[in-house]
A and B are shown apart, each in its own frame.
Chain A
Amino acid sequence: MREQERQLRALFVDLRTRESRREELSPYVTRVFLGGRGIGAWVMGSCPTVHPLDPDAPLVFSTGLLTGSRVPSSSRMVVSAFSPLTGTVCSASVGGRLGLSMRRSGIDLIRVAGRAEGPVVLVIDDGRVGFEQGDIPADEPLSGVFGRLEGAGWSAAAVGRAAFQGCRYASVMVDGAFASGRGGLGLVMASKNLRALRVRGTGTAKAVDPEGEEKARTDILRLFDASPAIMGASGLRHFGTSALVDLMASRRMMPTANFRRTYFPGYRSFCASAIREQEAPKRYACPGCPIACKGKGRAGIPEFETLSHFGALNENADLGAIIEANRICNEAGFDTITAASTIACLAEIRGVRYAGRELVDKVREIASLTGDGPLLQLGSAELARRMGRPELSMSVKALEMPAYDPRGAYGMALAYGTSTRGACHLRAYPVSHEILRKPVATDRFSFSGKARIIKISEDLNAVIDSLGACKFAFFGASLEEYAKGFSSVTGIEADTQDLLSFGNTISSLERHINSLRGFRREHDLLPERFFTEPGSSGAGIEVPPIDRKAFEEALDRYYRIRGCSPDGTFPQDKAREIQSCMSR
């Protein structure tokens, strides 16, 4: 270890006793788990079978080792816990200023356990820890809550009324506009009676090698400029993620009518140009990010997933209704993807369509727990099971699929299955090569080579999520440049291979934890629909059902490459090896 190497600084908080203690984590743990998602997995690994809502179950807020540096697009943080929606280990990366504030207050990781007697706000002011009464009305919209918590250098994370009402996919909102959305982490936070976390930090974060940091920054920015997906005329810099709407429609992989079809003719009503015309959004960014993918018009502009799912998935061509549905989700604090998918599932079961005003009403019912709200707040898997149609939940491990139909991208199909938090597009992010041609294009209708690609990509994205970096940055730059930045900032010598091996440790640990919680091969499969029903062919693109045999063979190959047994768990010796990584 170099003398100046960075070590992660942790804060352990017990809400029951309101006690806290600080600890510098060992160089080994810092180096291998990196912060963010990695350190979250490390914490979850210490109590792998605890119930998500057990008072002793951990909730972790963690920054990455790059957070606060000059390396571009790396100020994100991660919230981790066990998911009350899926039962898996779960973490969600989130933008905003909170990560930077934590870093500047000298804390990289906050591990919260216990349950407070009444609602509290955990306050960290330049490293000093305190508690405030969380006597904010439970039904107060989150914009109001953040109005109370922020200002004068403060940053905050908070949960809304959905969490206190027991919504299984309640999110943790950060700085008002950013969601740690998937898996119900907000419900875990509410179960601890933790209303909010407020942080203010005024310290500075200096790189060990500022010259190397600057060189990495220059190289990365040059690659951003050269990337059409990032800085191009149709890229994220100009349109945010809504830029993907036209593309997904043209590729015939836009999930429509609860995944019964893959093309929605009404997509033009919520595409990027429609949004620009009707909302004239202003773009804004997380700290230190030149991409500025977030947009705000009269209200917050929904992300691509939200546009597509409140749009095509529910056969709704009303942009106003989509924006309003998104606003309600953010004000009450629940995940837009699961909400939209659960409504689409209910619509299919009932043989109806909820669009326009009716769609907004359904979202409002979730927020207010009225009408179908109690049913809808369970998520689609439990809703469909209770209604006797479990096959109509378009989910894996009970997490609803995002807006990329797996019949249109086979790497994505495999990645939905193998993701450790359920059907998630971000764990391996094959959109990058199957759709956006970065770093190079792959054949989206083939499983050839995909098992290894997905394994490597999972490890890569585990690193990205752990460093505090943004996945969009990797539409231009690569780990090669970020590894240089990492070593310069932290003083930890690590090349691409070292980082990928840490990513392998993190991904494998998550899978191992899930297997200790009972997850097996059958939980890595896709809903039957994708193997039996074709998508919407057209414009020269055939979208057949996925060949089940080819999918299962790819899954077998993935298991072999990951070092798993055919049932998706790790053999004993491998499991011991993973376990030993926790404490070595």
Chain B
Amino acid sequence: MHEQVARYLGKLQRHGLIEGPGDAALYGLDDEILTNAGRVPGTMRELFALLNINSLIIARPGPLFRYVIGHLCLREPGLICPRDCESLTFIHDIPVVESLDPRRTAQALNRRKGCIVGGELVVTTGTVSLEQAFISLSSILFATFVKFFADALNGLHGYGEPVPRGMLDALPGLLARAEPRSSAEPLPERAPEGEDEILRAMDQAGKAVVNARLVDSFFGNISYRDGGAVYISQTGSSLDELPGYIDRVPLDGSSTCGITSSSELTAHVKTYELTGDNAILHGHPRFSVIMSMFGHPLPFGDRRSIGGVPVVSGEVGAGARGLVHTLPEAMREFHGAIVSGHGAFASCTGSFREAFTRLMDMETLCYRTCCALVREKLG
């Protein structure tokens, strides 16, 4: 458990979710509570006693996230309702409580996997491991970030409720601080050969996507087609820790080992069929998602574009309204597409290099478009 605490504290920092190690207290419970916080405060003991959990994180996110959360709490006191597809599916809504009062906090955490406390802290829990609490924390920060900017942009352009003046005034400054990372480590140009090289290339590409902040570690997926099989990251695997978590799925249906593969396996396979490509990266770049939610909601089956990049609708997985029915066709033309309110996909032949560059370019394009739309109204 000590190891888990140290691991996820490190990840919170590396992913830019908190500023320093003092900004998060992580608690793990088997038959006793372990923490990085030195001692276990009475309120935490009380909270654990009120909940059937084995892990809990209290984090004070970085300043940009705090600003965003603070504003959303003022606009939607009591309950923040994200609109992006991933959040709707997995976290539904985010309860807000005023203070870290154990009973009130427990009440909120009995409803949902995490909550916001006092307009600036995020508290999340897990019943299996700290990983759950980490994922929920990361999800809440992603959901609030996307909601803030998407609401602001839509409000500004008359697609949503008018945005308060204070929020508008802050927008240019916030956007400047949220600029996507531009320098990314180059990925090899040579296509991998043989299983070992493919696994190594996937590991490298996964790390690059996370380091470039094109995805928050546990989201997104990555695959590589090699002849009659697809190598794909497992469901819920961390893209920056892929070794050991990649499935080899034969395309002839001779094995069901893909039962632990990413939920987007079918969409990847169909994309390979239509594009002839052999490498796919899927991330959740924040501005790609924000821009995909700009304007009226996109009806299922419809398409629009952002600077030539197709935007389609579709939910996670292979259901009747799943992105498997919309994404592959869009990928055929551009080898890259954004699924509205969800994330971005890019594919290529050879190594992952081109797909990675395309994903980066799509995010930069969306960021710049977002900035331009703000400037258009605010000057």
Which residues of A from 324 to 346 have beta carbons under 8 Å from B? none
Which residue of B106, B131, B254, B255 has the most chain A CB atoms within 10 A of its CB atom?
B255
Which residue of B1, B30, B110, B257 has the most chain A CB atoms within 10 A of its CB atom?
B30
B269 on the A face (CB < 8 A): yes
Which residues of chain A are near B288, meaning CB under 8 Å? none
Which of B52, B131, B255, B269 has a CB less than 8 Å from the CB of A440?
A: B131
Q: A226-B263, A560-B31 are in contact. Are A232 and B318 (CB under 8 A)?
A: yes
Shortest beta-carbon distance from B95 to chain A in Å? 11
B60 on the A face (CB < 8 A): no
Assembly CA distance A23 to B259 (angstroms)? 46
- Let me know if A497 and B50 touch, CB within 8 A: yes
B368 on the A face (CB < 8 A): no
Which residues of chain A are near B265, meaning CB under 8 Å? 228, 232-234
- Let me know if B31 and A221 touch, CB within 8 A: no
A524 on the B face (CB < 8 A): no
- Let me know if B110 and A497 touch, CB within 8 A: yes
- Let me know if B317 and A231 touch, CB within 8 A: yes
A11 on the B face (CB < 8 A): no
Which of B52, B106, B236 has a CB less than 8 Å from the CB of A504?
A: B52
B88 on the A face (CB < 8 A): yes
Which residues of chain B are near A231, meaning CB under 8 Å? 317-319
| Segment of A63-71, A120-128, A367-375, A451-459 engaged in the interface with chain B | A451-459
| Segment of B122-130, B175-183, B201-209, B271-279 engaged in the interface with chain A | B122-130
B235 on the A face (CB < 8 A): yes
Which residues of chain B are near A223, meaning CB under 8 Å? 89-90
- Let me know if A449 and B259 touch, CB within 8 A: no
Q: A222-B319, A232-B318, A440-B129 are in contact. Are A452 and B30 (CB under 8 A)?
A: yes
- Let me know if A452 and B319 touch, CB within 8 A: no
Which of A219, A250, A480 has a CB less than 8 Å from the CB of B257?
A: A250
- Let me know if B258 and A232 touch, CB within 8 A: yes
Shortest beta-carbon distance from B270 to chain A in Å? 10
Across the interface, name the chain B residue whose C-beta is closest to A559: B31
Which residue of B3, B235, B245 has the most chain A CB atoms within 10 A of its CB atom?
B235
- Let me know if B52 and A273 touch, CB within 8 A: no
Shortest beta-carbon distance from B308 to chain A in Å? 29
Which residues of chain B are near A244, meaning CB under 8 Å? 256, 259
Which residues of A from 266 to 283 have beta carbons under 8 Å from B? 271-273, 276
Q: A234-B259, A250-B257, A449-B1 are in contact. Are A226 and B129 (CB under 8 A)?
A: no
Which of A247, A438, A440, A501 has a CB less than 8 Å from the CB of B256?
A: A247
Q: A437-B234, A453-B127 are in contact. Are A228 and B89 (CB under 8 A)?
A: no
Q: A273-B254, A449-B1 are in contact. Are A456 and B319 (CB under 8 A)?
A: no
Q: Mark A419-438, 1 if CB is under 8 A from B, else 0.
A: 00000000000000101111
Q: A225-B317, A433-B128, A561-B31 are in contact. Are A497 and B256 (CB under 8 A)?
A: no
- Let me know if A227 and B260 touch, CB within 8 A: no
Which residues of chain A are near B112, meaning CB under 8 Å? 480
Shortest beta-carbon distance from B129 to chain A in Å? 6
Across the interface, name the chain B residue whose C-beta is closest to A500: B52
Which residues of chain B are near A219, meaning CB under 8 Å? 92
Which of B51, B54, B110, B322 has a CB less than 8 Å from the CB of A453?
A: B54
Across the interface, name the chain A residue whose C-beta is closest to B54: A452
B212 on the A face (CB < 8 A): no
Which residue of A245, A440, A501 has the most chain B CB atoms within 10 A of its CB atom?
A440
- Let me know if A437 and B260 touch, CB within 8 A: yes
Which residues of B from 73 to 112 have beta carbons under 8 Å from A? 88-90, 92, 106-107, 110-112
B369 on the A face (CB < 8 A): no
Which residues of A from 243 to 275 have beta carbons under 8 Å from B? 243-247, 250, 271-273
Which residues of chain A are near B261, meaning CB under 8 Å? 228, 232, 234
- Let me know if A228 and B260 touch, CB within 8 A: yes
B357 on the A face (CB < 8 A): no
Which residues of chain A are near B322, meaning CB under 8 Å? 225
Q: How many residues of A contact B (CB 8 A)?
A: 58
A565 on the B face (CB < 8 A): no
Assembly CA distance A224 to B262 (angstroms)? 13
Which residue of A272, A433, A437, A449 has the most chain B CB atoms within 10 A of its CB atom?
A449
Which residues of B from 224 to 275 have beta carbons under 8 Å from A? 234-237, 245, 249, 253-263, 265-266, 269
- Let me know if B266 and A495 touch, CB within 8 A: no
Q: A433-B128, A456-B127 are in contact. Are A245 and B256 (CB under 8 A)?
A: yes
Q: A239-B256, A246-B256, A448-B1 are in contact. Are A495 and B30 (CB under 8 A)?
A: no
Which residues of B from 1 to 50 have beta carbons under 8 Å from A? 1, 3-4, 28-31, 50
- Let me know if B111 and A480 touch, CB within 8 A: yes
A299 on the B face (CB < 8 A): no
B349 on the A face (CB < 8 A): no
Q: Mark B126-143, 1 if CB is under 8 A from A, else 0.
A: 111101100100000000
Which residues of chain A are near B258, meaning CB under 8 Å? 228, 232-234
Shortest beta-carbon distance from A473 to chain B in Å? 15
- Let me know if A226 and B89 touch, CB within 8 A: yes
- Let me know if B52 and A229 touch, CB within 8 A: no
Which residue of B107, B259, B315 has the most chain A CB atoms within 10 A of its CB atom?
B259
Which residues of chain B are near A271, meaning CB under 8 Å? 255-256
Shortest beta-carbon distance from B40 to chain A in Å? 15
Which residues of chain B are near A459, meaning CB under 8 Å? 52
A496 on the B face (CB < 8 A): yes
Assembly CA distance A560 to B32 (angstroms)? 10
Across the interface, name the chain A residue whose C-beta is closest to B2: A448
- Let me know if A247 and B260 touch, CB within 8 A: yes
Which of B50, B89, B128, B257 has a CB less than 8 Å from the CB of A439?
A: B128
Q: A233-B318, A557-B30 are in contact. Are A449 and B256 (CB under 8 A)?
A: no
Assembly CA distance A497 to B47 (angstroms)? 12
B167 on the A face (CB < 8 A): no
- Let me know if B269 and A496 touch, CB within 8 A: no
Assembly CA distance A222 to B317 (angstroms)? 9
Which residue of B50, B89, B106, B128 has the most chain A CB atoms within 10 A of its CB atom?
B128
B335 on the A face (CB < 8 A): no
- Let me know if A441 and B317 touch, CB within 8 A: no
Assembly CA distance A244 to B31 (angstroms)? 32
A442 on the B face (CB < 8 A): yes
Which residues of chain B are near A449, meaning CB under 8 Å? 1, 4, 28, 30, 54, 129
Shortest beta-carbon distance from A221 to chain B in Å? 7
A498 on the B face (CB < 8 A): yes
Which residues of chain A are near B187, meaning CB under 8 Å? none
Across the interface, name the chain B residue whose C-beta is closest to A448: B1
- Let me know if A228 and B257 touch, CB within 8 A: no
Q: A449-B1, A451-B30, A453-B127 are in contact. Are A229 and B89 (CB under 8 A)?
A: no
Which residue of B1, B112, B236, B263 has the most chain A CB atoms within 10 A of its CB atom?
B263
- Let me know if A222 and B50 touch, CB within 8 A: no
Which residues of chain A are near B127, meaning CB under 8 Å? 439, 453, 456-457, 460
B316 on the A face (CB < 8 A): yes
- Let me know if B256 and A273 touch, CB within 8 A: yes
B286 on the A face (CB < 8 A): no
Which residues of chain B are near A246, meaning CB under 8 Å? 255-257, 259
Which residues of chain A are near B282, meaning CB under 8 Å? none
Which residues of chain B are near A228, meaning CB under 8 Å? 235, 258-263, 265, 317
A534 on the B face (CB < 8 A): no
Shortest beta-carbon distance from B92 to chain A in Å? 6
- Let me know if A232 and B317 touch, CB within 8 A: yes
- Let me know if B129 and A222 touch, CB within 8 A: no
B113 on the A face (CB < 8 A): yes
Q: A271-B256, A440-B236 are in contact. List 4 more A-B contacts (CB 8 A).
A: A224-B319, A228-B317, A452-B29, A480-B113
Between A and B, 9 residue pairs with Cβ closer than 8 Å are: A225-B318, A246-B255, A247-B259, A271-B256, A436-B260, A441-B237, A453-B128, A456-B53, A481-B92
By Cβ-Cβ distance, the 7 closest A-B pairs, closest first, are A225-B319, A234-B258, A497-B110, A225-B317, A234-B256, A226-B316, A495-B110
